[in-house]
Chains A and B, each alone.
Chain A
Amino acid sequence: EDQVTQSPEALRLQEGESSSLNCSYTVSGLRGLFWYRQDPGKGPEFLFTLYSAGEEKEKERLKATLTKKESFLHITAPKPEDSATYLCAVQARAAGNKLTFGGGTRVLVKP
């Protein structure tokens, strides 16, 4: 059974204080690992898809990396508008477009 574990559950940062979120996973044949951002009362917003170990992707202050067992989402010099819940999900090759989500990390960036 595919499993995704995210840590920490919650993260409080000062504006400008860089940090990393962890996503550990076990999956039978990884097709892709996804990162989403979710604001309260909204649907998840797509950030990145990573397909193979060693791959990295960046978008503004966010950078996602992937190994064979985990992915990291690095937030560099965060701003208050980066406050959100960040969700990690895996997609197995045999599962079509089905995603298995982790519990998420709630990030609060204080000015």
Chain B
Amino acid sequence: GAVVSQHPSRVICKSGTSVKIECRSLDFQATTMFWYRQFPKQSLMLMATSNEGSKATYEQGVEKDKFLINHASLTLSTLTVTSAHPEDSSFYICSAGGPMNTEAFFGQGTRLTVV
């Protein structure tokens, strides 16, 4: 299957700072990528849809100014958590559609801890 690479896998930051997470599709082009958040023992909650060359579409309840998404190329989307607070600590996962346009492949996830 297609490969989606997410970086970093773990990050610890101080409260009030910003953190950037990268999601790359390594062997295919993805016009659309998705960002999810997952709390312990819970399923994936879609945060936003990242569209190459245009603004991201955010799910209800997700703060656009806090979770900045940039999809600058067909292989890279970034999620920046701005002014992070302890309640932003979570597992963030990205996905990209595969070449068949009906599949979805996931990155390895990023464990964010805000102290």
A106 to B102, CA, bound (A): 26
Q: What is the interface size of chain A, counting residues whose CB is below 8 A from a CB of the partner?
A: 25
| Residues of chain B having any CB pair with chain A under 8 Å | 1, 4, 6, 32, 34, 41-44, 46, 49, 91, 93, 95, 97, 101-109, 111
Nearest-CB residue, chain A, relative to B45: A101
Q: Contact at A32–B102, with CB atoms within 8 Å?
A: yes
Known: A36-B106, A96-B32, A106-B41. 16 other contacts (CB 8 A): A41-B91, A41-B111, A42-B109, A43-B6, A43-B93, A43-B95, A44-B106, A46-B106, A49-B103, A97-B34, A97-B103, A97-B104, A99-B95, A101-B43, A103-B43, A104-B42
A32 to B32, CA, bound (A): 17
Nearest-CB residue, chain B, relative to A91: B102
| Residues of chain A having any CB pair with chain B under 8 Å | 31-32, 34, 36, 41-46, 49, 51, 87, 89, 91, 96-104, 106
Nearest-CB residue, chain A, relative to B49: A98
A44 to B105, CA, bound (A): 8
The 5 A-B residue pairs with the shortest CB-CB distance in the complex, in nearest-first order: A97-B97, A43-B106, A43-B109, A101-B43, A44-B106
Nearest-CB residue, chain A, relative to B44: A101
A101 to B46, CA, bound (A): 9
